[in-house]
Chain A
Amino acid sequence: MDQDLKNLGMSEEELFSFHDHSDLESEKITAPRYSYWQSVFRVFFRKKLNIVILGVLVILIAFAYIYPMVTEYDRFGQVLNPNARHKSPMEAVEMFGLNIHWILGTGGAGQSTFDAIWTGAQISISLAFICAAINMTVGVVVGAIWGFSKKVDIFMMEVYNIIGNVPYILFISVMVMLFTASFWTMVLALTITGWLGIAYFIRTQVVIIRDREYNLASRCLGTSTIKIAMKNILPFMTSVIVTLLATEIPSYISYEVFLAYIGMGLTDMSLGRLIFEAESAMVTPGWQFEFWSPVAIASIITVVLYVIGQNLGDASDPRTHM
Chain B
Amino acid sequence: MGKYLIKRLLHGAVSIIVVVALVMVMIYSLMERDRIFASDSMYTKVASNQRTVYCFTKWEEYGYLDLVTYAEYLAGLALNGEIDEETRSAASAIARTPEQDSKVVREYTEKFTQYYESQGYTVERLNAKTNGRKLVNGGQQQLFAHKDHPLAYRMWKYFTGLISIDNIHRVQEDIGERGLTFTLHDPVYGGDKFAPAIIGNGTVHKYLFYVDDTFPYLHQNFATINLGTSYSVNRGIDVFTTMTASQGPYVLSPVTFPTGLHEDSADDLHTATYQAGSREMNPVNADRFTDDYTNVLTEKGSMSKVGFSFVIGIIATTLAYMLALPLGILMARKKDKLIDKLGTIYIVFIIAVPSLAYIFLFKAIGGKMGLPTSFDLESGSKLMFVLPIISLALPSIANLMKWLRRYMIDQMNSDYVKFARSGGLSEGEIFSKHILKNAAIPIVHGIPAAILSALTGAIITERVYVVPGAGNLLTEAINKYDNGVIVGVTLFYAVLSVVSIILGDILMATVDPRISFSTKDR
A residues with a Cβ closer than 8 A to B are: 161-163, 165-167, 169-170, 173-175, 177-179, 247, 250, 253-254, 257-258, 261-264, 272, 275, 282-283, 291, 295, 298-299, 302-303, 305-307, 310
- In the complex, how many residues of chain B place their beta carbon closer than 8 angstroms to a beta carbon of chain A? 44
A261/B357 in contact, CB under 8 A: no
Contacts of A174 in B (CB 8 A): 23, 26-27, 478, 486
Chain A min CB distance to B10 (Å): 12
Question: Which residue of chain B has the shortest Cβ distance to A300 in the bound complex?
Answer: B353
Some 29 contacts from A to B, beta carbons below 8 A apart, are: A161-B11, A162-B18, A165-B12, A165-B497, A166-B19, A166-B490, A167-B497, A170-B490, A174-B26, A177-B481, A178-B26, A178-B30, A178-B31, A250-B351, A250-B352, A254-B354, A258-B356, A261-B463, A262-B459, A262-B463, A262-B475, A263-B479, A275-B356, A298-B354, A299-B352, A302-B352, A302-B353, A306-B351, A307-B352
Q: A178-B31, A261-B356, A298-B357 are in contact. Are A165 and B351 (CB under 8 A)?
A: no
B490/A299 in contact, CB under 8 A: no
Question: Which residue of chain A has the shortest Cβ distance to B373 in the bound complex?
Answer: A283
Contacts of B16 in A (CB 8 A): 165
Contacting A at CB under 8 A, from B446-503, are 456, 459-460, 463, 474-475, 478-479, 481, 486, 489-490, 493-494, 497-498, 501
* B295 proximal to A (CB < 8 A): no
A261/B478 in contact, CB under 8 A: no
Given contacts A162-B15, A174-B27, A261-B463, list 18 more A-B pairs with CB under 8 A.
A166-B490, A166-B497, A170-B474, A170-B489, A170-B493, A253-B354, A254-B353, A254-B354, A258-B354, A258-B356, A261-B460, A264-B478, A291-B360, A299-B352, A303-B348, A303-B349, A306-B351, A307-B352
* B411 proximal to A (CB < 8 A): no
* B191 proximal to A (CB < 8 A): no
A292, B353: Cα distance in complex, Å: 13
Question: Which residue of chain A has the shortest Cβ distance to B355 in the bound complex?
Answer: A254
B357/A305 in contact, CB under 8 A: no
Contacting A at CB under 8 A, from B370-411, are 373
Question: Which residue of chain A has the shortest Cβ distance to B353 in the bound complex?
Answer: A299
Contacts of A261 in B (CB 8 A): 356, 460, 463
Question: Which residue of chain B has the shortest Cβ distance to A299 in the bound complex?
Answer: B353
Contacts of B497 in A (CB 8 A): 165-167
B residues with a Cβ closer than 8 A to A are: 11-12, 14-16, 18-19, 23, 26-27, 30-31, 348-349, 351-357, 360-361, 363-364, 367, 373, 456, 459-460, 463, 474-475, 478-479, 481, 486, 489-490, 493-494, 497-498, 501
A257, B358: Cα distance in complex, Å: 12
Q: A170-B490, A262-B463 are in contact. Are A165 and B352 (CB under 8 A)?
A: no
Contacts of A258 in B (CB 8 A): 354-356, 460
A257/B494 in contact, CB under 8 A: no
Residue from the set A179, A283, A302, A305 with the largest chain B CB neighbour count within 10 Å = A302
A298, B355: Cα distance in complex, Å: 11
Chain A min CB distance to B372 (Å): 13
Q: A173-B475, A261-B460 are in contact. Are A306 and B360 (CB under 8 A)?
A: no
A169, B354: Cα distance in complex, Å: 14
Q: A162-B19, A262-B478 are in contact. Are A178 and B27 (CB under 8 A)?
A: yes
A302, B356: Cα distance in complex, Å: 13
A173/B478 in contact, CB under 8 A: yes
Contacts of B479 in A (CB 8 A): 262-264
Contacts of B30 in A (CB 8 A): 178-179
A253, B351: Cα distance in complex, Å: 12
A305, B353: Cα distance in complex, Å: 10
Question: Which residue of chain B has the shortest Cβ distance to A249 in the bound complex?
Answer: B352
Choose from B349, B351, B490 the contact partner of A247 (Cβ within 8 Å). Answer: B351
Chain A min CB distance to B27 (Å): 7
Chain B min CB distance to A296 (Å): 8
Choose from A250, A257, A283 the contact partner of B356 (Cβ within 8 Å). Answer: A257
Residue from the set B351, B354, B460, B493 with the largest chain A CB neighbour count within 10 Å = B354
Contacts of A178 in B (CB 8 A): 26-27, 30-31
Chain A min CB distance to B131 (Å): 35
Chain B min CB distance to A188 (Å): 12
Chain B min CB distance to A243 (Å): 12
Chain B min CB distance to A173 (Å): 5
**Top 3 A-B residue pairs of the complex, sorted by shortest distance between their CB atoms:** A306-B352, A254-B354, A162-B15
Contacts of B364 in A (CB 8 A): 282
Q: A166-B494, A170-B490, A264-B478 are in contact. Are A305 and B352 (CB under 8 A)?
A: yes
